[in-house]
Structure 1
């Protein structure tokens, strides 16, 4: 019987010293495994999609580098339902489902958390992209799906050029909800700050910046990562945002920017399988392990 399994993507299960990306994933996951073991927990690392695994041999599952879940959502969704009946999930299944759909931004806004203004276009909306854009009054916009990852179908455009994306928008909105946001210009010069909130408290932060002539900060698109010393204002903002989430949050990555009014604003809260950049601050893995150990101890009482 294991206390906890650290979940990964099958492509990353085996180590490969010749591949820097896989080596970095192992470095991150091993920091977590070592921290869990220092808490006296019997921990193992597993592929979430391995059909041979009997998950009832684990008390808890920790989502870490399960980065294929979105591309395999037809498998992941029923698997999530099954395993949530067998063991504790961190983060919990209800939170994962809430966080997958960016409609959660509206919930945060309703709780007085400052988020980037967002206009949702629901599945089957008959309006053209030009009509939706005109209704927002925004001059420069970002278009993306409400359920997405890794900047899938993310487009930046001027309102006057909406017609360039009209066809792809019409195709997408027939099948899924979309959202529009005003483009936030600070991302070009200052990037996006990610604050890691572990067990309710900020542990550390990094800054992600886009490559030249791009706006996407993800490293998949050439963005880069830098250490960042979070200000008291940023830490308080991130912790308050996580506190507004209507679930128990073991870990979160809070992605924030200065909006076009120069106020801190949420771009996204990542609580499914976010990269938490433990390599920049290994002590955060111990903060995570301590919170997990406390929850498992409390559950056993």
Structure 2
């Protein structure tokens, strides 16, 4: 079986040091296991996808900047009957953060959210009151890596109110209360392979910032959670990430209740380097699926 490990064309737009390291190490690990696998750029026009039977999404980091092309690429895989991990329909669903509403409707907790489109009036004072907070996070529904993400407070609400109407003409945004627990306790990530728990960690922002991504100075701290916490995270995977090679459940605890921030099913960093056994669990899950 010929397998494509799918990545993106690095044009220096994103900080990819950690991702490239994980990609290369995973690729070598899988090749050493005897798999016929290549690293392939998802939108490389020279690739003949007929040569591949299976494609594994790893780091298509630019998909949200090229969302129409990305969806067309998914269509091509579907037309050619090339199996994608994670499954194509699940990936389509996961590209847009409106999926959070579906998760909430299923009875699972998410960070309180309001979805905004070009017809909505932007009144931050109303949103401050509705969320009972003086700090908001606003970001596109199709985004990644803190792209066009704003932390809105009384001090900058007028500035953001001038920028956002123009941006919102192009795409929908999601607004959420800023959770101080992110700074105080960090953001949890629970990683599952083929529905089974593998490992977890807490990501913490650097002093003076609110973004937990390593590219923005965030730090990573492996955890050994209780079975109860694992079971909580597993509920999201069991309902919305069926037949997925990997799933990363990101969220934080507010008053001891877990609030989902994102269910990452497309291009999350998997923090495989926190334990060598993570690679073995990844491979075991892949073998189960193929």
Normalising by structure 1, we get a TM-score of 0.86
Equivalent residue for 1:250?
A: 245
Segment drifting more, 243-252 vs 106-115: 243-252
1:145 paired residue among 134, 140, 146? 140
- Report deviation, 1:41: 3.0
Structure 1: unaligned runs, 5 residues or longer: 13-19, 297-301
Q: Give, in whole Å, the separation in 2 of the partners of 1:138 and 1:179.
A: 17
Q: Tell me which of 91, 114, 121 is aligned to 1:127.
A: 121
- Mind listing any 5+ residue stretches in structure 2 that lack a counterpart? none
Counterpart pick for 2:153 among 143, 151, 158: 158
| RMSD value, Cα | 2.4
Q: 3-state DSSP class of the match of 1:248?
A: coil
Contact 2:138 2:151 (8 Å CA) reproduced: yes
Distance 1:277 1:220 in 2: 14
Normalising by the residue count of structure 2, what TM-score does the alignment of the two structures yield?
0.89
Question: Paired residue for 1:175?
Answer: 170
Question: How far off is 1:226 after superposition?
Answer: 2.2
Change (3 A) 1:163 1:10: closer
Please state how far the C-alpha of 1:189 moved relative to its aligned partner. Answer: 1.6
Is 1:5 aligned to residue 20 of structure 2? no
Choose from 259, 262, 272 the match for 2:256: 262
Q: Deviations over 1:205-241 (max 9, x none)?
A: 1221111111111122221222222232321111111
CA distance in 2, matches of 1:127, 1:170: 9
For the 8 Å contact 1:101–1:147, the answer to whether it is kept is yes
Deviation of the 1:287 alpha carbon? 2.0
SS at 1:10 equivalent:
coil
Q: Does 1:235 align with 2:263?
A: no
User: Pairwise mapping of residues 1-301 of structure 1 onto structure 2 (< 5 A)?
Assistant: 2-11=1-10, 22=17, 24-37=18-31, 40-86=34-80, 87-121=82-116, 123-130=117-124, 133=127, 136-139=130-133, 140-158=135-153, 162-245=157-240, 247-259=242-254, 261-296=255-290
d(CA) in 1 for partners of 2:90, 2:248: 14
Instruction: Please state how far the C-alpha of 1:275 moved relative to its aligned partner.
Output: 0.5
Distance 1:113 1:10 in 2: 36
Q: Distance in 1 between matches of 2:85 and 2:282?
A: 11
| 1:141/1:159 contact within 8 Å kept | no
Deviation larger for 224-233 or 189-198: 224-233
Deviations 1:241-298 (A, max 9, x none): 1112064322111112012x331111111100110011112322222222222222xx
Moved over 4 A (4+): 37-40
Distance 1:190 1:126, change over 3 A: closer
